[in-house]
Structure 1
């Protein structure tokens, strides 16, 4: 299993490891125990191209788990698998179910019949307290086994199980106009070495000193919503800009719409990042274009009540200024925002019809794509090239004005010097940033790259900007704190195709084209929750859907294509922190849990009103209800049982997983160093010349999809930087 081995211009297709070259570190005995669990999770032959025909699958699952699972959780799994390989160990973890009246009387887990192993796994999924390691083992193996089984593809981009569940990969003709619109500004370091990188930079007009120090006006770390806008504005102001992106560059011709390899190449931690406690799965883009290259196109202006709150309670006057509103207009124009779509996909048809039947307001969602854009796989890169991420807009503007983008480059720390800022009338900063030190990832460049600049911008996102600033010895207490995640929980409804008024499959059509706002309890406070529809591929669905038996799992997968999802998103009051790369901590407030519960209940009502044959949640016990002949009393009784208890370590039998695709606030703006990590200009309170230009500067959560807010904020910050640098010439 490769980590997504695409190089320049190569489609995102391959995602497997050469058999016999595994580095997972599991022993043969552990792999045998793992194989037994996998055979239990997946239906027996001939269902879904069974596990039994794939002898290498346990090794593949072990490899993926070792590579992407949290180390402490994987360590627990290793111990459990080792114990299960012995008879006495199996007795300890599985109880009397391992005992038989016939010789050899006591069996290992792998020797038990399927129905017994199923009963054991069901028991593990409910364990808590001292036995929570068994729940962790169940969750980790279940997720990675089922995810990999439905993500893998052969040389022809096929998976036999996809036909069984009615899934088809998007193979429409690609409609791009330019093959690689950023080509003239891109340097892909995977193709460079210590000697050639110097010449490549010189060829693109970047000054490289004799000691190989790279000099420019501005260096931007990150190329997403914040970095892309900043690079464009600064380059168009006549400044020499160098952008550092640790991900790779892909254009529409490279996208395959294959879930596994696309997530491996385009997302942070291959799209498998979790919070430290495992309660949240966190999606963040990691490619040229960042989150804008893989998001779901929703392009919503910052709500007025949020702008008012930020300008008054947080004392950031920018957000209630004409400057900011003008920036939003400029961003909406550059992204080509359309206010509605010509045709809605299956899931959005369901959401709209359910709302209409209940008399609820449902609104069209503005998108950064044409009205006829009917793409259900934009989360894996838009293969038609119609979605206007920064890789198709702002970064094109940047390279057209001389900016250079280095891919496969990771910033390690900022170069800080003592400051001589003693001027009156502004905050005195003790440090001055003069650039950044970076290193190449996976290429032939062995030396560190030193980039000196008049201004340095961190646009690495809310999960990576704080660790980068802290690794540079900055100490403001707000760095890495106040993290907001827009917590999400999902519901589902099954709509049989026969006789249905809704056409299509759940993976077809625009991902988010309709939205319902669950009314807030306080006037002017915005929504209690936002209801939208997600992209969820077959592998993600398989890994996350509740598992109670192999037969039940098969039934859920066969119905995958006609299972509509509606998720509830809340503007969180709870917060978290990320002070070390990859270690995201978050605590959901009780108020947020209640808002999620309200949102879930409303989503289920909508699905029922739309005519679902069955509805349910993602709670671990497979919470579901058939709708035929449903009485009002029975529906209310079911809805009363819906809760928002999340996390594998949660006490009690039932739990669910929260999701987050929006991260904000971890280096928030503040009116002073005591109230935020950066000022209203995005400049660090500690280091002159160091700016933050991504979602981490937002004072709090927004409550809606944040792309327009992040880009508009970056527009204002970068325009101010440009004016300042032009004056300083």
Structure 2
């Protein structure tokens, strides 16, 4: 069957001409080249191609229904007016946005567009990398010919913040450790900075993980060796001591400062944590510093990060192209392998081995180079599940683990963003780190301000605008300031099994208390921008961007009735779905991270964190996992076998 191409499709041609007219600096799109490139990217994805072609047919007929002739037959001005009118309709506006998304993405990812908007030149990839002995201990499913059976002391499922730290600690104690990772191992040569390449590699479901409730909240997570640490912004913060104190009061373990300090210090040393440089932070730091100071805020600072020698390429969320960021694929995993651990990547944990309530191994499944399933069976004295907050509970439920708290108590640190236009200043958004400055005066009340600059593609895909207005928005990228905040939420959500493995159903309803705090973040940040000299402030929402040109306009906006779904809300820190507790009536794991009621099974990832932190959690997760793994090693080396944790867990 002949494949319908886009570069000769009359509706696709007409749509691109309407979407991408010439601007002040950007030329009109080279439609033939753009559609040819989109055709190439759709090769091998017939379902996506069919969906796109169906959308073009819908647009053509929709125009015919209202105007008596097809969209492709209309003049340029009528096409533009039709798109603008359609964008404001509740249902068709959403369909139009989905239809235009791939075309906009191709335009934004073009090197000529990047050059015209003052973006950094393409990443210079190394021709070759030094090979290390520890890399011999990485086995990819694609390189396996036959099923394999292994024995180990401990198998760790997951290589993110919790799993990697646990594996390192266990290997350091001389235990035989196998790390299982569903994603693949990538190095600097794969971190090209090209979003169309790296997002499908590094992000689960290409970043399309979302929570639904009274707002739709994207919750992007990683699926690669390194997990979400490979795609986070590198911010390193200890949790507030008040939060740790409350955990101790609740009987979830010993978390006093004297007990925790050595563990935090160990993690921070491994990650080479240090304060971001002013050069890496860029002009946004000066803008926020100036605006916050004008409003009386004192705790203004460059953030602590795990990126020694960072050169500010602004690609932290897409794999660091220089390995400066000490994500676990650069820090903990190589160190664990140096100490004898083995890493099997491309293998998805499928079935726990159990005898009654004792867990003694796991079977994982991968796909080999011939496209055939390959099974890896590992017999182990202990299994550590570190699949992450959104996937650990689903996996445990599938294995028959029963606890009323499993999958509940989800917190997210909902985050908001406010943008501002500084037309006379180039902000170097692609030449600085996305999150390097913070303001902490309201952290005690649950509101932490942190940078949140997005790449050009994110900027251009934000908002429901088209044609000349959209081209103008893209051209303003060098002059658009991005900054954000997160809240220490009291709301709780729940993770359910989704329609397919790897696609969880996440339900989260932001309560009134949290939403009031969210609105306070919006108003506070907008005022900072105005006092720093912004010509306009932009408050993004899912359907439109609210543009304000004065504090008076801001005050009027804040007096309106709002709901969470009016704002662009994101979340990057899911926690709590298998939380630590004193008893199984309060949580899933005891203070030693052992799953209540089962011997040989622990959880060491973000799902164990008992409550919202109000601080970026990777250091906390690594610290808790390191300490728990050390205690596990003590038991395995001393007792030789695990006892089943019962109603009352031991205190750490």
Task: Give the TM bin, normalised by the shorter chain.
Answer: 0.7 to 0.9
Q: TM-score, normalised by structure 1?
A: 0.79
**d(CA) in 2 for partners of 1:383 and 1:360?**
35
- Match of 2:373, SS state, is coil
CA distance in 1, matches of 2:81, 2:246: 52
- 1:370 aligned counterpart, secondary structure: coil
- Does residue 295 in structure 1 map to residue 257 in structure 2? no
Q: Hey, what does 1:711 align to over in structure 2?
A: 622
Contact 1:42 1:50 in 2 (8 A): no
Higher mean displacement: 388-397 or 316-325: 316-325
Contact 1:341 1:371 in 2 (8 A): no
SS in 2 for 1:302: coil
2:162 alignment partner, SS class: helix
Structure 2 vs 1, CA of residues 397 and 417 (structure 1 numbering), >3 Å: closer, same or farther? same
Aligned partner of residue 247 in structure 1, secondary structure: coil
Cα separation, 1, equivalents of 2:189 and 2:40: 28
Normalised by the length of structure 2, the TM-score is 0.87
1:306 corresponds in structure 2 to: 243
The aligned residue for residue 69 of structure 2 is: 107
Contact 1:408 1:440 in 2 (8 A): yes
Measure how far apart 1:301 and its partner are.
0.7
CA distance in 2, matches of 1:358, 1:176: 51
| Match in the other structure for 2:223 | 286
Alignment check: 8 A CA contact 2:241 2:257 kept: no
When the two structures are aligned, how many residues end up with a matched partner?
628
* 2:612 is the alignment partner of 1:701: yes
Shift of 1:553: 0.7
Give the aligned partner of residue 646 of structure 2: none
Tell me whether 1:558 sits opposite 2:478 in the alignment.
no
- C-alpha distance after superposition, 1:430-467 (max 9, x if no partner): x2211112111464452321111111011111122122
Structure 2 residue aligned with 1:534: 452
Q: How does 1:88-107 map to 2 (within 5 A)?
A: 98-99=66-67, 106-107=68-69
Offset, 1:663 = 1.3
User: Which of 254, 259, 283 is equivalent to 2:195?
Assistant: 259
Q: Deviations over 1:297-345 (max 9, x none)?
A: 1111111121122222x43133336433321121112212113525331
Match of 2:645 in 1: none
The alpha carbon displacement at 1:115 in A equals 4.2
Indicate the residue corresponding to 1:514 in structure 2.
Answer: 437
Distance 1:273 1:118, change over 3 A: farther
- State the 1:495 CA deviation: 1.9
Which residue matches 2:20?
Answer: 42
Q: Distance in 2 between matches of 1:576 and 1:262?
A: 30
Q: Which residues of 2 match residues 135-150 of structure 1 at below 5 A? A: 135-150=93-108
Query: Structure 1 residues 578, 338: closer, same or farther in 2, change over 3 A?
Result: same
Residue 555 of structure 2 is aligned to residue 636 of structure 1: yes
Provide the residue aligned with 2:150 in structure 1: 214
Residue-by-residue CA offset, 1:599-618 (whole Å, 9 max, x unaligned): 01111111222222222111
Where 2:573 maps in the other structure, the secondary structure is coil
Instruction: Tell me the distance in 1 between the aligned counterparts of 2:19 and 2:44.
Output: 17
In the alignment, the residues of structure 2 paired with residue 527 and residue 636 of structure 1 have an alpha-carbon distance, to the nearest angstrom, of 22
Within 5 Å, give how 1:156-175 maps onto structure 2. 159-169=111-121, 171=123
Give 1:691 deviation, angstroms.
0.9
| Native 8 Å contact 1:596 1:644 kept in 2 | no
In structure 2, the residue matched to 1:577 is 494
Label 1:366 to 1:686 Cα distance change in 2 as closer, same or farther (>3 A): same
Provide the C-alpha distance between the structure 2 equivalents of 1:181 and 1:269, rounded to a whole number of angstroms: 32
Q: Structure 1 124/417 Cα, relative in aligned 2: closer, same or farther at 3 Å?
A: farther
SS of residue paired to 2:449:
strand
Deviation, 1:172, is: 6.0
1: CA distance, partners of 2:430 / 2:145: 42
Pairwise CA RMSD of aligned residues? 3.3
| Kept in 2: contact 1:281–1:657 (CA 8 A) | no
What residue in structure 1 maps to residue 289 of structure 2? 352
- SS where residue 474 of structure 1 aligns? coil
Residue equivalent to 1:723: 634
CA distance in 2, matches of 1:467, 1:706: 21
Q: Where does the alignment leave 5 or more consecutive residues of structure 1 unmatched? A: 1-19, 93-97, 100-105, 153-158, 199-211, 419-430, 521-525, 647-654
Write the distance in 2 (CA, Å) between the matches of 1:563 and 1:482: 37
Distance 2:463 2:325 in 1: 33
Residue 327 of structure 1 corresponds to 263
Shift of 1:109: 4.0
- 1:393-429 CA-partner distances (Å, limit 9, x unpaired): 22222111100111111112322220xxxxxxxxxxx
Change (3 A) 1:59 1:349: same
Task: Choose which of 595, 598, 604 in structure 2 pairs with 1:684.
Answer: 595
Corresponding position: 1:661 with 2:572: yes
Question: Which residue of the partner structure matches residue 396 of structure 2?
Answer: 469
Shift, 1:692, TM fit: 0.8
Query: Deviations 1:195-247 (Å, cap 9, x if unpaired)?
Result: xxx7xxxxxxxxxxxxx421111111111110111000101111110101122
How has the CA–CA distance of structure 1 residues 640 and 170 changed in structure 2, closer, same or farther, with 3 Å as cutoff?
farther
